[in-house]
Chains A and B, each alone.
Chain A
Protein backbone atom coordinates (compact mmCIF):
# COMPACT_ATOMS: atom_id res chain seq x y z
CA UNK A 1 0.00 0.00 0.00
CA UNK A 2 1.30 3.41 -0.96
CA UNK A 3 -0.11 6.47 0.74
CA UNK A 4 0.64 9.84 -0.78
CA UNK A 5 -0.28 13.27 0.43
CA UNK A 6 1.44 16.21 -1.18
CA UNK A 7 1.13 19.97 -1.15
CA UNK A 8 3.28 22.37 -3.11
CA UNK A 9 3.11 25.76 -4.73
CA UNK A 10 4.13 25.31 -8.37
CA UNK A 11 5.23 27.99 -10.79
CA UNK A 12 3.83 26.87 -14.10
CA UNK A 13 3.63 28.67 -17.43
CA UNK A 14 0.06 29.68 -16.58
CA UNK A 15 1.14 31.33 -13.32
CA UNK A 16 1.08 30.13 -9.72
CA UNK A 17 -0.73 26.92 -8.95
CA UNK A 18 -1.34 25.09 -5.71
CA UNK A 19 -0.76 21.37 -6.08
CA UNK A 20 -2.69 19.45 -3.46
CA UNK A 21 -3.21 15.74 -3.87
CA UNK A 22 -3.95 12.71 -1.75
CA UNK A 23 -3.86 9.23 -3.26
CA UNK A 24 -3.73 5.66 -2.11
CA UNK A 25 -2.47 2.89 -4.31
CA UNK A 26 -2.74 -0.79 -3.55
CA UNK A 27 0.17 -3.19 -3.84
CA UNK A 28 0.37 -4.55 -7.39
CA UNK A 29 -1.96 -1.98 -8.86
CA UNK A 30 -1.42 -0.23 -12.21
CA UNK A 31 -2.68 3.32 -11.98
CA UNK A 32 -2.50 6.34 -14.25
CA UNK A 33 -2.33 10.01 -13.47
CA UNK A 34 -4.11 11.74 -16.31
CA UNK A 35 -4.33 15.43 -17.06
CA UNK A 36 -3.40 18.21 -19.39
CA UNK A 37 0.18 19.37 -19.57
CA UNK A 38 0.93 21.74 -16.73
CA UNK A 39 -1.58 20.04 -14.43
CA UNK A 40 1.22 18.86 -12.15
CA UNK A 41 1.52 15.20 -13.18
CA UNK A 42 5.28 15.10 -13.52
CA UNK A 43 5.70 17.13 -10.32
CA UNK A 44 3.90 14.40 -8.40
CA UNK A 45 6.27 11.73 -9.74
CA UNK A 46 9.29 13.90 -9.00
CA UNK A 47 8.16 14.41 -5.43
CA UNK A 48 7.66 10.65 -5.02
CA UNK A 49 11.20 10.07 -6.27
CA UNK A 50 12.63 12.77 -4.00
CA UNK A 51 13.74 14.99 -6.90
CA UNK A 52 11.38 17.78 -5.87
CA UNK A 53 10.53 18.84 -2.34
CA UNK A 54 6.92 19.49 -1.38
CA UNK A 55 6.07 22.12 1.21
CA UNK A 56 3.95 19.71 3.17
CA UNK A 57 3.42 16.04 2.64
CA UNK A 58 3.63 12.40 3.43
CA UNK A 59 4.82 9.50 1.30
CA UNK A 60 4.50 6.07 2.85
CA UNK A 61 5.42 2.95 0.90
CA UNK A 62 4.49 -0.42 2.40
CA UNK A 63 4.57 0.99 5.91
CA UNK A 64 7.90 2.76 5.48
CA UNK A 65 7.90 6.54 5.56
CA UNK A 66 9.90 8.07 2.72
CA UNK A 67 8.73 11.56 3.44
CA UNK A 68 6.94 13.10 6.37
CA UNK A 69 7.27 16.84 6.64
CA UNK A 70 5.55 16.69 10.05
CA UNK A 71 8.59 15.07 11.66
CA UNK A 72 11.27 15.99 9.13
CA UNK A 73 11.67 12.56 7.51
CA UNK A 74 12.91 12.97 3.96
CA UNK A 75 14.78 10.16 2.23
CA UNK A 76 17.19 11.11 -0.54
CA UNK A 77 16.45 9.87 -4.07
CA UNK A 78 19.29 7.37 -3.58
CA UNK A 79 17.52 5.80 -0.59
CA UNK A 80 14.07 5.43 -2.18
CA UNK A 81 13.66 2.02 -3.72
CA UNK A 82 11.88 2.73 -6.96
CA UNK A 83 12.31 2.54 -10.70
CA UNK A 84 11.83 5.69 -12.73
CA UNK A 85 11.57 6.02 -16.48
CA UNK A 86 12.08 9.56 -17.73
CA UNK A 87 10.29 11.12 -20.66
CA UNK A 88 13.62 11.63 -22.43
CA UNK A 89 14.86 8.14 -21.35
CA UNK A 90 17.96 9.64 -19.64
CA UNK A 91 20.29 6.93 -20.92
CA UNK A 92 23.95 7.74 -20.30
CA UNK A 93 25.44 8.56 -23.73
CA UNK A 94 28.96 7.57 -22.69
CA UNK A 95 27.97 4.00 -21.89
CA UNK A 96 26.81 1.12 -24.06
CA UNK A 97 23.45 -0.47 -23.41
CA UNK A 98 25.05 -3.12 -21.24
CA UNK A 99 27.13 -0.56 -19.34
CA UNK A 100 23.97 1.45 -18.71
CA UNK A 101 22.39 -1.65 -17.18
CA UNK A 102 25.51 -2.55 -15.18
CA UNK A 103 25.64 1.01 -13.82
CA UNK A 104 22.24 0.42 -12.27
CA UNK A 105 23.49 -2.50 -10.16
CA UNK A 106 23.69 -1.90 -6.43
CA UNK A 107 26.98 -2.57 -4.66
CA UNK A 108 27.61 -6.31 -4.46
CA UNK A 109 24.47 -7.11 -6.44
CA UNK A 110 25.22 -10.06 -8.74
CA UNK A 111 25.14 -9.49 -12.49
CA UNK A 112 22.41 -12.10 -12.96
CA UNK A 113 19.84 -9.42 -12.65
CA UNK A 114 21.28 -7.56 -15.65
CA UNK A 115 21.17 -10.74 -17.70
CA UNK A 116 17.60 -11.32 -16.62
CA UNK A 117 16.60 -7.84 -17.76
CA UNK A 118 18.42 -8.30 -21.08
CA UNK A 119 16.46 -11.50 -21.59
CA UNK A 120 13.11 -10.06 -20.59
CA UNK A 121 13.42 -6.83 -22.61
CA UNK A 122 15.03 -8.65 -25.56
CA UNK A 123 18.10 -6.42 -25.57
CA UNK A 124 20.57 -9.12 -26.51
CA UNK A 125 21.40 -7.83 -29.99
CA UNK A 126 22.01 -4.23 -28.93
CA UNK A 127 23.99 -4.77 -25.73
CA UNK A 128 27.19 -3.30 -27.10
CA UNK A 129 25.68 -0.36 -28.93
CA UNK A 130 25.59 3.22 -27.68
CA UNK A 131 22.23 4.89 -26.98
CA UNK A 132 22.76 7.41 -29.79
CA UNK A 133 22.62 4.60 -32.34
CA UNK A 134 19.28 3.22 -31.11
CA UNK A 135 15.75 4.02 -32.24
CA UNK A 136 13.29 5.67 -29.83
CA UNK A 137 11.55 2.38 -29.09
CA UNK A 138 14.82 0.59 -28.41
CA UNK A 139 15.99 3.36 -26.10
CA UNK A 140 12.74 3.14 -24.21
CA UNK A 141 13.21 -0.59 -23.72
CA UNK A 142 16.70 0.01 -22.37
CA UNK A 143 15.44 2.75 -20.04
CA UNK A 144 12.69 0.48 -18.77
CA UNK A 145 15.17 -2.36 -18.36
CA UNK A 146 17.60 -0.16 -16.47
CA UNK A 147 14.87 0.91 -14.07
CA UNK A 148 14.24 -2.76 -13.27
CA UNK A 149 17.81 -3.93 -12.61
CA UNK A 150 17.55 -3.13 -8.90
CA UNK A 151 14.23 -5.01 -8.73
CA UNK A 152 12.16 -2.18 -7.27
CA UNK A 153 8.64 -2.83 -6.06
CA UNK A 154 7.47 0.49 -7.29
CA UNK A 155 7.75 1.81 -10.86
CA UNK A 156 7.15 5.37 -12.02
CA UNK A 157 6.69 6.06 -15.71
CA UNK A 158 6.68 9.67 -16.88
CA UNK A 159 4.94 9.71 -20.26
CA UNK A 160 7.32 7.03 -21.43
CA UNK A 161 5.71 6.49 -24.81
CA UNK A 162 4.83 10.03 -25.85
CA UNK A 163 7.69 10.32 -28.33
CA UNK A 164 6.96 7.07 -30.15
CA UNK A 165 4.76 6.27 -33.12
CA UNK A 166 1.55 4.32 -32.80
CA UNK A 167 2.78 0.80 -33.63
CA UNK A 168 5.88 1.16 -31.44
CA UNK A 169 3.66 2.35 -28.62
CA UNK A 170 1.51 -0.75 -28.79
CA UNK A 171 4.58 -2.99 -28.56
CA UNK A 172 6.03 -1.10 -25.63
CA UNK A 173 2.72 -1.17 -23.83
CA UNK A 174 3.03 -4.95 -24.01
CA UNK A 175 6.51 -4.79 -22.53
CA UNK A 176 5.35 -2.55 -19.71
CA UNK A 177 2.41 -4.82 -18.90
CA UNK A 178 4.74 -7.82 -19.00
CA UNK A 179 7.23 -6.36 -16.52
CA UNK A 180 4.41 -5.09 -14.33
CA UNK A 181 3.22 -8.67 -13.95
CA UNK A 182 6.59 -10.46 -13.94
CA UNK A 183 8.09 -8.27 -11.23
CA UNK A 184 4.83 -7.91 -9.34
CA UNK A 185 5.20 -4.14 -9.48
CA UNK A 186 3.08 -1.30 -8.30
CA UNK A 187 3.13 1.06 -11.26
CA UNK A 188 2.22 4.70 -11.65
CA UNK A 189 1.97 5.90 -15.24
CA UNK A 190 1.70 9.54 -16.21
CA UNK A 191 -0.08 9.84 -19.51
CA UNK A 192 -2.50 11.90 -21.51
CA UNK A 193 -3.09 9.25 -24.13
CA UNK A 194 -6.62 7.93 -23.71
CA UNK A 195 -6.17 4.68 -25.63
CA UNK A 196 -3.02 3.90 -23.67
CA UNK A 197 -4.81 4.40 -20.37
CA UNK A 198 -7.83 2.34 -21.39
CA UNK A 199 -5.52 -0.49 -22.39
CA UNK A 200 -3.12 -0.54 -19.46
CA UNK A 201 -4.52 0.96 -16.37
CA UNK A 202 -6.81 -0.45 -13.69
CA UNK A 203 -7.53 2.84 -12.04
CA UNK A 204 -6.91 6.43 -12.91
CA UNK A 205 -6.67 9.79 -11.22
CA UNK A 206 -7.73 12.81 -13.23
CA UNK A 207 -5.61 15.80 -12.32
CA UNK A 208 -6.74 19.32 -13.09
CA UNK A 209 -4.80 22.40 -12.04
CA UNK A 210 -3.08 20.57 -9.23
CA UNK A 211 -6.16 18.87 -7.79
CA UNK A 212 -7.53 15.39 -8.31
CA UNK A 213 -10.99 15.86 -9.72
CA UNK A 214 -11.95 12.27 -10.54
CA UNK A 215 -10.87 8.78 -9.50
CA UNK A 216 -12.07 5.53 -11.00
CA UNK A 217 -11.79 2.88 -13.66
CA UNK A 218 -10.74 4.36 -17.02
CA UNK A 219 -13.74 2.99 -18.97
CA UNK A 220 -16.12 4.53 -16.50
CA UNK A 221 -14.41 7.89 -16.61
CA UNK A 222 -13.96 8.12 -20.36
CA UNK A 223 -17.45 6.92 -21.28
CA UNK A 224 -19.94 9.65 -20.78
CA UNK A 225 -23.24 8.23 -19.53
CA UNK A 226 -25.31 10.51 -21.72
CA UNK A 227 -23.99 8.76 -24.81
CA UNK A 228 -25.21 5.25 -25.56
CA UNK A 229 -23.02 4.67 -28.54
CA UNK A 230 -21.99 1.31 -29.74
CA UNK A 231 -18.71 2.42 -31.26
CA UNK A 232 -16.35 4.73 -29.58
CA UNK A 233 -13.06 5.91 -31.02
CA UNK A 234 -10.68 8.37 -29.51
CA UNK A 235 -8.60 10.53 -31.78
CA UNK A 236 -7.08 13.88 -32.60
CA UNK A 237 -8.57 16.50 -34.88
CA UNK A 238 -6.29 17.01 -37.85
CA UNK A 239 -8.42 19.40 -39.94
CA UNK A 240 -11.62 21.43 -39.70
CA UNK A 241 -13.08 22.43 -43.06
CA UNK A 242 -16.19 24.38 -43.91
CA UNK A 243 -18.33 22.76 -46.55
CA UNK A 244 -21.46 24.78 -47.33
CA UNK A 245 -23.49 25.11 -44.16
CA UNK A 246 -21.75 22.26 -42.31
CA UNK A 247 -18.21 21.56 -41.24
CA UNK A 248 -16.18 18.47 -42.02
CA UNK A 249 -13.92 17.49 -39.17
CA UNK A 250 -11.09 15.02 -39.87
CA UNK A 251 -10.17 12.90 -36.89
CA UNK A 252 -7.15 10.67 -36.72
CA UNK A 253 -7.87 7.65 -34.51
CA UNK A 254 -4.95 5.28 -34.49
CA UNK A 255 -4.15 4.85 -38.16
CA UNK A 256 -7.69 5.56 -39.36
CA UNK A 257 -8.69 8.95 -40.66
CA UNK A 258 -12.37 9.52 -40.00
CA UNK A 259 -14.39 12.39 -41.44
CA UNK A 260 -17.29 13.59 -39.34
CA UNK A 261 -19.93 16.16 -40.16
CA UNK A 262 -20.47 18.84 -37.54
CA UNK A 263 -22.64 21.90 -37.20
CA UNK A 264 -21.14 25.38 -37.05
CA UNK A 265 -21.83 25.53 -33.28
CA UNK A 266 -20.05 22.22 -32.68
CA UNK A 267 -17.14 23.16 -34.88
CA UNK A 268 -16.72 26.44 -33.04
CA UNK A 269 -15.92 24.57 -29.81
CA UNK A 270 -13.17 22.51 -31.45
CA UNK A 271 -9.74 23.22 -32.77
CA UNK A 272 -7.10 21.29 -34.65
CA UNK A 273 -5.14 19.13 -32.27
CA UNK A 274 -8.00 18.63 -29.77
CA UNK A 275 -8.57 15.15 -28.40
CA UNK A 276 -12.08 14.04 -29.28
CA UNK A 277 -14.26 10.98 -29.06
CA UNK A 278 -16.12 9.84 -32.17
CA UNK A 279 -19.27 7.94 -31.28
CA UNK A 280 -21.47 6.09 -33.71
CA UNK A 281 -24.87 4.59 -32.92
CA UNK A 282 -24.61 1.94 -35.57
CA UNK A 283 -27.89 0.03 -35.73
CA UNK A 284 -26.72 -2.92 -37.72
CA UNK A 285 -22.95 -3.37 -37.65
CA UNK A 286 -21.53 -5.87 -40.13
CA UNK A 287 -18.82 -8.31 -39.16
CA UNK A 288 -16.37 -9.98 -41.54
CA UNK A 289 -13.68 -12.52 -40.92
CA UNK A 290 -10.24 -11.37 -42.06
Chain B
Protein backbone atom coordinates (compact mmCIF):
# COMPACT_ATOMS: atom_id res chain seq x y z
CA UNK B 1 0.00 0.00 0.00
CA UNK B 2 1.12 3.51 -0.81
CA UNK B 3 1.37 5.67 2.30
CA UNK B 4 2.39 8.82 0.44
CA UNK B 5 -1.10 10.37 0.19
CA UNK B 6 -1.71 9.96 3.94
CA UNK B 7 1.70 11.32 4.87
CA UNK B 8 1.17 14.25 2.53
CA UNK B 9 -2.24 14.95 4.09
CA UNK B 10 -0.86 15.09 7.62
CA UNK B 11 2.16 17.13 6.50
CA UNK B 12 -0.17 19.62 4.85
CA UNK B 13 -2.43 19.75 7.94
CA UNK B 14 0.53 20.26 10.26
CA UNK B 15 2.18 23.04 8.25
CA UNK B 16 -1.17 24.73 7.67
CA UNK B 17 -2.04 24.60 11.37
CA UNK B 18 1.30 26.09 12.45
CA UNK B 19 1.01 28.94 9.96
CA UNK B 20 -2.61 29.50 10.94
CA UNK B 21 -1.70 29.71 14.60
CA UNK B 22 0.83 32.46 13.86
CA UNK B 23 -1.64 34.41 11.72
CA UNK B 24 -4.82 33.82 13.69
CA UNK B 25 -3.77 34.98 17.14
CA UNK B 26 -2.97 38.57 16.07
CA UNK B 27 -5.95 38.61 13.68
CA UNK B 28 -8.37 37.31 16.34
CA UNK B 29 -6.95 39.81 18.84
CA UNK B 30 -7.57 42.63 16.40
CA UNK B 31 -11.08 41.40 15.59
CA UNK B 32 -11.91 40.97 19.27
CA UNK B 33 -10.93 44.47 20.36
CA UNK B 34 -10.89 46.77 17.36
CA UNK B 35 -13.56 49.40 17.01
CA UNK B 36 -12.68 50.36 13.43
CA UNK B 37 -15.50 50.62 10.92
CA UNK B 38 -13.74 48.27 8.53
CA UNK B 39 -13.96 45.40 11.03
CA UNK B 40 -17.25 43.83 9.80
CA UNK B 41 -15.80 43.61 6.28
CA UNK B 42 -12.72 41.80 7.53
CA UNK B 43 -14.89 39.51 9.66
CA UNK B 44 -17.02 38.67 6.63
CA UNK B 45 -13.98 37.90 4.49
CA UNK B 46 -12.44 35.71 7.20
CA UNK B 47 -15.69 33.73 7.49
CA UNK B 48 -16.35 33.36 3.75
CA UNK B 49 -14.65 29.95 3.42
CA UNK B 50 -17.33 28.59 5.78
CA UNK B 51 -20.10 29.09 3.24
CA UNK B 52 -18.41 29.34 -0.13
CA UNK B 53 -18.21 26.12 -2.21
CA UNK B 54 -14.55 25.02 -2.08
CA UNK B 55 -14.49 24.94 -5.86
CA UNK B 56 -15.21 28.69 -6.01
CA UNK B 57 -12.30 29.40 -3.71
CA UNK B 58 -10.13 26.92 -5.60
CA UNK B 59 -11.06 28.43 -8.95
CA UNK B 60 -10.14 31.97 -7.98
CA UNK B 61 -6.96 30.86 -6.26
CA UNK B 62 -6.04 28.94 -9.37
CA UNK B 63 -6.49 32.08 -11.45
CA UNK B 64 -4.63 34.23 -8.94
CA UNK B 65 -1.67 31.84 -8.67
CA UNK B 66 -1.49 31.15 -12.39
CA UNK B 67 1.68 32.52 -14.01
CA UNK B 68 -0.46 34.05 -16.74
CA UNK B 69 -1.95 36.53 -14.26
CA UNK B 70 -0.38 39.28 -12.24
CA UNK B 71 0.06 37.70 -8.79
CA UNK B 72 1.27 34.33 -10.05
CA UNK B 73 3.65 35.97 -12.50
CA UNK B 74 4.99 38.29 -9.82
CA UNK B 75 5.61 35.43 -7.36
CA UNK B 76 7.30 33.32 -9.97
CA UNK B 77 9.48 36.07 -11.35
CA UNK B 78 10.62 37.76 -8.14
CA UNK B 79 10.31 35.11 -5.46
CA UNK B 80 10.69 32.03 -7.64
CA UNK B 81 7.64 30.49 -5.99
CA UNK B 82 5.20 28.52 -8.04
CA UNK B 83 1.88 28.15 -6.28
CA UNK B 84 -0.15 26.19 -8.84
CA UNK B 85 0.13 22.41 -8.67
CA UNK B 86 2.68 22.56 -5.85
CA UNK B 87 2.76 21.82 -2.13
CA UNK B 88 3.36 25.51 -1.31
CA UNK B 89 0.19 26.35 -3.24
CA UNK B 90 -1.76 23.77 -1.25
CA UNK B 91 -0.50 25.31 1.99
CA UNK B 92 -1.55 28.83 0.98
CA UNK B 93 -4.96 27.61 -0.16
CA UNK B 94 -5.46 25.55 3.02
CA UNK B 95 -4.51 28.48 5.23
CA UNK B 96 -7.18 30.62 3.58
CA UNK B 97 -9.70 27.79 3.57
CA UNK B 98 -9.29 26.91 7.27
CA UNK B 99 -8.79 30.46 8.54
CA UNK B 100 -12.25 30.85 10.14
CA UNK B 101 -11.86 27.57 12.02
CA UNK B 102 -8.89 28.97 13.91
CA UNK B 103 -9.82 32.66 14.12
CA UNK B 104 -13.36 32.26 15.37
CA UNK B 105 -12.71 30.16 18.51
CA UNK B 106 -9.77 32.39 19.53
CA UNK B 107 -11.77 35.56 18.89
CA UNK B 108 -14.74 34.21 20.86
CA UNK B 109 -12.43 33.17 23.70
CA UNK B 110 -10.91 36.64 23.92
CA UNK B 111 -14.33 38.31 23.81
CA UNK B 112 -15.56 36.13 26.65
CA UNK B 113 -12.80 37.29 29.02
CA UNK B 114 -13.82 40.23 31.21
CA UNK B 115 -12.29 43.53 30.05
CA UNK B 116 -11.08 44.15 33.57
CA UNK B 117 -8.36 41.48 33.17
CA UNK B 118 -6.74 43.44 30.34
CA UNK B 119 -7.24 46.74 32.08
CA UNK B 120 -5.80 45.48 35.36
CA UNK B 121 -2.71 44.33 33.51
CA UNK B 122 -2.30 47.71 31.78
CA UNK B 123 -2.64 49.53 35.09
CA UNK B 124 0.04 47.27 36.53
CA UNK B 125 2.30 48.69 33.81
CA UNK B 126 2.29 45.77 31.40
CA UNK B 127 2.32 46.32 27.64
CA UNK B 128 -0.34 44.97 25.28
CA UNK B 129 1.95 42.21 24.01
CA UNK B 130 2.92 41.11 27.49
CA UNK B 131 -0.74 41.17 28.51
CA UNK B 132 -1.66 39.00 25.53
CA UNK B 133 0.91 36.34 26.28
CA UNK B 134 0.83 36.32 30.06
CA UNK B 135 -2.81 37.08 30.82
CA UNK B 136 -5.12 36.61 27.84
CA UNK B 137 -3.80 33.53 26.01
CA UNK B 138 -3.20 31.44 29.15
CA UNK B 139 -6.83 32.02 30.11
CA UNK B 140 -8.21 30.86 26.75
CA UNK B 141 -6.09 27.72 26.34
CA UNK B 142 -9.26 25.74 25.63
CA UNK B 143 -10.28 28.06 22.78
CA UNK B 144 -6.81 28.03 21.23
CA UNK B 145 -6.73 24.26 21.42
CA UNK B 146 -10.18 24.04 19.86
CA UNK B 147 -9.00 26.28 17.02
CA UNK B 148 -5.85 24.22 16.46
CA UNK B 149 -7.73 20.94 16.41
CA UNK B 150 -10.51 22.21 14.14
CA UNK B 151 -8.07 23.78 11.68
CA UNK B 152 -6.05 20.57 11.57
CA UNK B 153 -9.12 18.37 11.07
CA UNK B 154 -10.62 20.70 8.48
CA UNK B 155 -7.42 20.65 6.45
CA UNK B 156 -7.47 16.85 6.45
CA UNK B 157 -11.02 16.98 5.13
CA UNK B 158 -10.28 19.30 2.21
CA UNK B 159 -11.15 18.10 -1.25
CA UNK B 160 -12.43 20.73 -3.64
CA UNK B 161 -9.80 23.35 -3.04
CA UNK B 162 -6.84 20.99 -3.22
CA UNK B 163 -8.20 19.36 -6.34
CA UNK B 164 -8.56 22.71 -8.10
CA UNK B 165 -5.25 24.17 -7.03
CA UNK B 166 -3.09 21.06 -6.67
CA UNK B 167 -4.38 18.62 -9.18
CA UNK B 168 -3.40 15.10 -8.28
CA UNK B 169 0.34 14.82 -8.65
CA UNK B 170 1.50 11.73 -6.72
CA UNK B 171 3.86 12.57 -3.86
CA UNK B 172 3.41 16.32 -4.35
CA UNK B 173 -0.22 17.28 -4.29
CA UNK B 174 -2.10 13.99 -4.18
CA UNK B 175 -3.50 14.07 -0.65
CA UNK B 176 -5.58 11.26 0.85
CA UNK B 177 -9.00 12.69 0.01
CA UNK B 178 -8.02 12.92 -3.66
CA UNK B 179 -6.33 9.53 -3.64
CA UNK B 180 -9.58 7.98 -2.43
CA UNK B 181 -11.46 9.59 -5.30
CA UNK B 182 -8.87 8.37 -7.81
CA UNK B 183 -8.91 4.82 -6.45
CA UNK B 184 -12.69 4.67 -6.63
CA UNK B 185 -12.55 5.96 -10.20
CA UNK B 186 -10.21 3.11 -11.10
CA UNK B 187 -12.41 0.55 -9.26
CA UNK B 188 -9.71 -0.08 -6.67
CA UNK B 189 -12.16 -0.28 -3.74
CA UNK B 190 -9.97 -2.01 -1.19
CA UNK B 191 -7.28 0.70 -1.19
CA UNK B 192 -9.97 3.40 -1.18
CA UNK B 193 -11.46 1.66 1.81
CA UNK B 194 -8.13 1.59 3.68
CA UNK B 195 -7.53 5.30 3.13
CA UNK B 196 -11.12 6.07 4.06
CA UNK B 197 -11.01 4.03 7.26
CA UNK B 198 -7.83 5.72 8.41
CA UNK B 199 -9.23 9.20 7.74
CA UNK B 200 -12.48 8.16 9.41
CA UNK B 201 -10.71 7.02 12.58
CA UNK B 202 -8.33 9.97 12.73
CA UNK B 203 -10.99 12.63 12.25
CA UNK B 204 -13.22 10.93 14.80
CA UNK B 205 -10.43 11.03 17.38
CA UNK B 206 -9.70 14.67 16.60
CA UNK B 207 -13.30 15.76 16.90
CA UNK B 208 -13.76 13.70 20.03
CA UNK B 209 -10.90 15.65 21.58
CA UNK B 210 -12.68 18.93 20.65
CA UNK B 211 -15.80 17.84 22.47
CA UNK B 212 -13.78 16.70 25.44
CA UNK B 213 -12.22 20.16 25.53
CA UNK B 214 -15.55 21.91 25.20
CA UNK B 215 -17.03 19.70 27.87
CA UNK B 216 -14.39 21.02 30.24
CA UNK B 217 -12.60 17.70 30.75
CA UNK B 218 -9.39 19.02 29.34
CA UNK B 219 -9.71 22.42 31.01
CA UNK B 220 -9.97 20.75 34.37
CA UNK B 221 -6.86 18.81 33.56
CA UNK B 222 -4.89 21.85 32.38
CA UNK B 223 -5.53 23.95 35.49
The interface bits of chain A over 269-286 (1 if a CB of B lies within 8 angstroms of the residue's CB, else 0) are: 000000000000000000
Give min CB distance, A158 to chain B, whole Å: 9
Contact (Cβ within 8 A) A77 B123? yes
A22 at interface by CB-CB < 8 Å: no
Q: A93-B139, A94-B138 are in contact. Are A86 and B119 (CB under 8 A)?
A: yes
Contact (Cβ within 8 A) A146 B223? no
A76 at interface by CB-CB < 8 Å: yes
Contact (Cβ within 8 A) B117 A92? yes
Q: A51-B119, A88-B114, A130-B223 are in contact. Are A78 and B135 (CB under 8 A)?
A: no
B211 at interface by CB-CB < 8 Å: no
Q: How far is the CA of A86 from the CA of B114 in the complex (A)?
A: 11
Give min CB distance, A113 to chain B, whole Å: 13
Q: A86-B116, A90-B114 are in contact. Are A51 and B122 (CB under 8 A)?
A: yes
Give min CB distance, B59 to chain A, whole Å: 44
Q: Which one of B116, B125, B134 contacts A88 once the chains associate, using CB atoms below 8 Å? A: B116
Decide if the interface of chain A is mainly helix, strand, loop or mixed: loop
Residues of B within 8 A of A138 (CB): none
B38 at interface by CB-CB < 8 Å: no
Contact (Cβ within 8 A) B135 A49? no
Among B125, B127, B134, B139, the one with the most A-chain Cβ atoms within 10 Å of its Cβ is B125
Residues of B within 8 A of A88 (CB): 114, 116
Interface residues in A, total, Cβ within 8 A: 25
Question: Residue of B at shortest CB range from A80?
Answer: B123
A84 at interface by CB-CB < 8 Å: yes
Interface residues in B, total, Cβ within 8 A: 17
Give min CB distance, A208 to chain B, whole Å: 26
Give min CB distance, B82 to chain A, whole Å: 44
Q: How far is the CA of A84 from the CA of B123 in the complex (A)?
A: 7
Contact (Cβ within 8 A) A104 B124? yes
Decide if the interface of chain B is mainly helix, strand, loop or mixed: helix
Give min CB distance, B60 to chain A, whole Å: 42
Among A83, A103, A130, the one with the most B-chain Cβ atoms within 10 Å of its Cβ is A103
Q: Which one of A79, A84, A94 contacts B135 once the chains associate, using CB atoms below 8 Å? A: A94
Query: In the complex, which residues 122-140 of chain B have their Cβ closer than 8 Å to any Cβ of chain A?
Result: 122-127, 134-135, 138-139
Query: In the complex, which residues 5-56 of chain B have their Cβ closer than 8 Å to any Cβ of chain A?
Result: none
Residues of A within 8 A of B120 (CB): 84, 86, 90, 92
Residues of B within 8 A of A79 (CB): 125
Q: How far is the CA of A48 from the CA of B135 in the complex (A)?
A: 23
Give min CB distance, B206 to chain A, whole Å: 25
The interface bits of chain A over 167-206 (1 if a CB of B lies within 8 angstroms of the residue's CB, else 0) are: 0000000000000000000000000000000000000000
Contact (Cβ within 8 A) A78 B122? yes
Q: Which one of A77, A104, A150 contacts B119 once the chains associate, using CB atoms below 8 Å? A: A77
Q: How far is the CA of A146 from the CA of B116 in the complex (A)?
A: 14
Q: Which one of A50, A92, A104 contacts B139 once the chains associate, using CB atoms below 8 Å? A: A92
Q: How far is the CA of A248 from the CA of B123 in the complex (A)?
A: 49
Question: Residue of A at shortest CB range from B222?
Answer: A94
Residues of A within 8 A of B117 (CB): 90, 92
The 10 closest A-B pairs by CB, nearest first: A90-B116, A90-B120, A94-B138, A77-B122, A86-B116, A104-B124, A84-B123, A78-B125, A94-B139, A77-B123
5 interchain pairs, CB-CB under 8 A = A78-B127, A84-B120, A86-B116, A88-B116, A92-B121
B interface with A by C-beta (< 8 Å)? 114, 116-117, 119-127, 134-135, 138-139, 223
A interface with B by C-beta (< 8 Å)? 49-51, 76-80, 82-84, 86-88, 90, 92-94, 103-104, 106, 130, 146, 149-150
Beyond A77-B123, A87-B116, 15 extra complex contacts between A and B, CB < 8 Å: A78-B127, A79-B125, A80-B123, A84-B119, A84-B120, A88-B114, A88-B116, A92-B117, A92-B139, A103-B121, A103-B124, A104-B124, A130-B223, A146-B124, A150-B125
